[in-house]
Structure 1
Amino acid sequence: MKHRKYLAYAAVALSLAAALAWAFAPRPVEVETARTRVGLFEQAVEEDGRTRLKDRYTVSAPLAARLTRITLRAGDIVTQGDVVAELLPVMSPLVDGRSMQQAVARLGAADAALTRAKAQTAQATVALDESLLDLKRTEQLAAVGFVSPSRMDTARLAATAGRRALDAALAAQEAAVHEQDFARAALAPSEPGRAGRPIVLRAPVAGRILRVAQPSEVTLAAGTPLLEIGDATQLEVVSELLTADAVQAREGARVIIDRWGGPPLEGRIRQVEPAAFTKVSALGIEEQRANAVIEVQNAGDAWRAVGDGFRVNVRIVTASASGALMVPVGAVFPHAGGMAVYVVEGRRAHVQAIDVQARNGSDAWLRGGLAEGQEVVLYPAAEVRDGTRVRTRVP
């Protein structure tokens, strides 16, 4: 009996020891895993962009004038040559008391100048008549030989000089008449009903009205913009790249345009502008950026709904390789001066050094260190060490 009792005690003690050993034994760490794969690797620069018209035309006032009300609105379609605005000559400004006195004095001076010019004309006419009579008498005397040839030449020159003096006097009289008209016009009251013939402005190209800067009737200075016209179907995308990224964005590089309200579109970089500019970020940091101009290639009917200045997202492919061995970047971590991953072998995680050639937002392109199809730990927790037992988490 005692022997059986001891055996029972021993069995209970072994059960308790086994239970304690099982309770305090290390559990496998639950991890999320992925497998390496071979495929197309692309490295890209991702930035915001905006659409803009390739050609934009601004209709402006060619001279100071009064604009009649523009009936066109943004979005209206116009053809080349359509009337888009009308300008009327500016009315004369109001005249104050001093200006009125000056105008009256200017008219009096013009009247006096005209009187003097008429007197000079009469004087020149008398002098011409006298020189012509003298020439006639001299010619009669020269016919019978009583006048020398030099006297005859003097008479002819005097008659010619008289004619020139009369012409000058008549011209001065004509100028005085115009001066009088000018001075009289300054005193004439302005008549709103006789503002003059309107100047018509026409659309330089066919397209849509983008913006009407001056819809109401107003008096404008020369060069004031009135409205903008452009072809809304001819759009390009402009993205402001950091200069470090702009160096990698080559002309002709492939671009993926998305988040514009439709399916992703293909594009190509047409030009990276050579001059950079300073832009302050949302964090208040000054950044040097350059514009990349992108041509949209496979635009469909949905793209027609996009207008000028719409926001889009662009991914500029700077490196591409087919048949590349890739591992998710979430599995890569620094180790011993290089990079490594945890490879799952026999339900245990082992550190494996890798040689990373390039990476993008989701994958790392490997030169070596792994083979296709190997299982690696994603986002390894602090509990994972070399040789740790792991268990794949079931989603």
Structure 2
Amino acid sequence: MFRKKYLLLGVTAVAAAGLLAWAFSPKPVPVETATIVNGRYEQAIEEDGRTRLKDRYTVSAPVAARVLRISLREGDRVAAGDTVAVLLPAMSAMVDARSNREATERHHAAKANVTRAAARVARAQLGAEEAQLELHRVEKLAREGFLSASRLDSARLALSGARREVDAARAERDAAGHDEAQAAAALLPANGAQGGKPLNVKSPVPGVVLKVPQASEGTVPAGTALLDVGDPARMEVIAELLTTDAVQAQPGRRAVVERWGGPPVEGRVRRVEPAAFTKVSALGIEEQRVKVIVDLDSPPPGWQAMGDGYRVTLRVITQSVDQALLAPVGALFPIGDGGTGVYVVQDGKAKLQPVELGGRNGNEAWVRGGLQAGQKVIVYPPPAVAEGKRVQARRP
């Protein structure tokens, strides 16, 4: 009886000691892990951009006119030579009572000038006839020797001058007639546009209507934009890069257009503009930026849903390596004098491992040495993790 009692007490003491040892023993640190894999490493310059058509045509009114209502709407397709707008002569300005009275008096004055000019023509013709008769008399007397040759020359010159006076009087009569017609036109009612000949404005290229700023009927001055036409199949992307990044984005570089609402679209840098400009960032910092233009290489069905002026994210690839050893950036931390290391999970414990990097981007790092594919590394190691510390991967 006493033997069983002592045996039970001994088992209880051993169990209590084991429970205490387990309770006070160091527990594994829960960590997040990731696997080292082989893959494609890319280092890129990332910046917001926007799409735009390569060729955009603004159809404008060539003259001041009254434009009829435009039936085309954004998205309608047009062919080269299609009529996109119809112009009519603009109506004359409205005339008030005072202006009408002034125009009437000017018309009366113009008619009087016509009468005066006609009277001057008649007077000039009489003078010419008188000079012609005088010349006949002088010629007869000169032949009989009663007058000198100089007197004959004077008569001939007088006739020539009289004829010039007739020509000048007739010209003044014509000018007075035109002035009278102009004054009479000012009195016509303001409905001259109803009988005017329409002018058809045509599309210069085939494409899609992008914008119709002047859809309603109205009177417009010369040069007013009526609508914009462009070909959505000819698209490009423009982004404003920092000048320090634009040095690496040389023409011919591969680029990827992302975050536009569809799959990534491949492209190539076509041009880096030669002149930079100053732009103030959202934080109030002055930055020197330059515009970079990218041509899209993917076929139109891949990005036909992308329109003009869409906001996108442009990635210009500056470095690309196939079959590179990739590690998450969150697993890296500085060690020693400028070195880089990671914690590798080995036999349930954390092991500090220095690594050699070939490059890094926002998500991944290219590891040239120190790791192998398939190894587990700790991502964002907590402060409790140290060399030889027991760790346990969190369950997803």
The alpha-carbon deviation at position 43 of structure 1 amounts to 0.8
Aligned to 2:251: 251
Task: Report if the CA contact (8 A) 1:34-1:378 is conserved.
Answer: yes
The alpha-carbon deviation at position 111 of structure 1 amounts to 2.0
1:144-183, Cα deviation, whole Å (9 max, x unpaired): 4444333333222222222222111110110001111111
Distance 2:143 2:337 in 1: 129
Task: Report if the CA contact (8 A) 2:265-2:303 is conserved.
Answer: no
Aligned to 1:67: 67
Distance 2:300 2:102 in 1: 70
Task: Report if the CA contact (8 A) 2:243-2:276 is conserved.
Answer: no
Identity of aligned residues (%): 51
**Farther-moved stretch of structure 1 (87-96 vs 385-394):** 385-394
Aligned to 1:153: 153
**Farther-moved stretch of structure 1 (87-96 vs 345-354):** 345-354
Aligned to 1:378: 379
Q: 2:389 is matched by which residue type in structure 1?
A: T
Task: Report if the CA contact (8 A) 1:59-1:225 is conserved.
Answer: yes
1:8-55, Cα deviation, whole Å (9 max, x unpaired): 866654553343223211122233333444543211123333322111
**Farther-moved stretch of structure 1 (62-71 vs 8-17):** 8-17
Distance 2:395 2:91 in 1: 84
**Farther-moved stretch of structure 1 (314-323 vs 32-41):** 32-41
Task: Report if the CA contact (8 A) 1:279-1:289 is conserved.
Answer: no
The alpha-carbon deviation at position 4 of structure 1 amounts to 9.9
Aligned to 2:219: 219
Cα pair distance change 1:266/1:326, threshold 3 Å: same
Aligned to 1:347: 348
Task: Report if the CA contact (8 A) 2:28-2:390 is conserved.
Answer: yes
| SS of equivalent to 1:108 | helix
Aligned to 1:362: 363
Aligned to 2:205: 205
Cα pair distance change 1:124/1:337, threshold 3 Å: farther
Aligned to 2:335: 335
Cα pair distance change 1:220/1:193, threshold 3 Å: closer
**Farther-moved stretch of structure 1 (227-236 vs 32-41):** 32-41
Aligned to 1:138: 138
Cα pair distance change 1:154/1:15, threshold 3 Å: same
Cα pair distance change 1:10/1:75, threshold 3 Å: closer
Task: Report if the CA contact (8 A) 2:61-2:223 is conserved.
Answer: yes
Cα pair distance change 1:136/1:321, threshold 3 Å: farther
What are the within-5 Å matches in structure 2 for residues 35-74 of structure 1?
35-74=35-74
Distance 2:321 2:8 in 1: 70
| SS of equivalent to 2:133 | helix
Aligned to 1:278: 279
Cα pair distance change 1:256/1:194, threshold 3 Å: closer
Cα pair distance change 1:87/1:39, threshold 3 Å: same
Distance 2:160 2:299 in 1: 83
The alpha-carbon deviation at position 284 of structure 1 amounts to 7.0
**Farther-moved stretch of structure 1 (327-336 vs 361-370):** 361-370
Cα pair distance change 1:145/1:337, threshold 3 Å: farther
| SS of equivalent to 1:391 | strand
Q: 1:84 is matched by which residue type in structure 2?
A: V
Cα pair distance change 1:4/1:74, threshold 3 Å: closer
1:117-158, Cα deviation, whole Å (9 max, x unpaired): 122212211221222222233333444444433333322222
Normalising to structure 2: TM-score of the pair?
A: 0.88
Q: 1:388 is matched by which residue type in structure 2?
A: K
| SS of equivalent to 2:352 | strand
Distance 1:32 1:337 in 2: 27
Structure 1 unaligned regions, length at least 5:
none
The alpha-carbon deviation at position 323 of structure 1 amounts to 5.3
Aligned to 1:294: 294
**Farther-moved stretch of structure 1 (203-212 vs 374-383):** 374-383
| SS of equivalent to 2:102 | helix
Task: Report if the CA contact (8 A) 1:31-1:393 is conserved.
Answer: yes
| SS of equivalent to 1:248 | coil
Distance 1:365 1:319 in 2: 11
Q: 1:380 is matched by which residue type in structure 2?
A: P
**Farther-moved stretch of structure 1 (133-142 vs 214-223):** 133-142
What are the within-5 Å matches in structure 2 for residues 154-173 of structure 1?
154-173=154-173
Cα pair distance change 1:8/1:78, threshold 3 Å: closer
| SS of equivalent to 1:388 | coil
The alpha-carbon deviation at position 344 of structure 1 amounts to 3.1
Distance 1:72 1:361 in 2: 47
1:56-115, Cα deviation, whole Å (9 max, x unpaired): 111122222211121222222221111111111122222112212221221222122222
Task: Report if the CA contact (8 A) 2:328-2:363 is conserved.
Answer: yes
RMSD: 2.9
Distance 2:206 2:11 in 1: 99
Cα pair distance change 1:211/1:331, threshold 3 Å: same
Aligned to 2:313: 313
Cα pair distance change 1:132/1:342, threshold 3 Å: same
Size of the aligned set, in residue pairs, is: 394
Distance 1:194 1:8 in 2: 120
The alpha-carbon deviation at position 268 of structure 1 amounts to 0.7
Distance 1:47 1:324 in 2: 25
Normalising to structure 1: TM-score of the pair?
A: 0.88
Distance 2:328 2:305 in 1: 37
Distance 2:359 2:90 in 1: 68
Distance 2:190 2:36 in 1: 88
**Farther-moved stretch of structure 1 (249-258 vs 193-202):** 193-202
The alpha-carbon deviation at position 319 of structure 1 amounts to 2.2
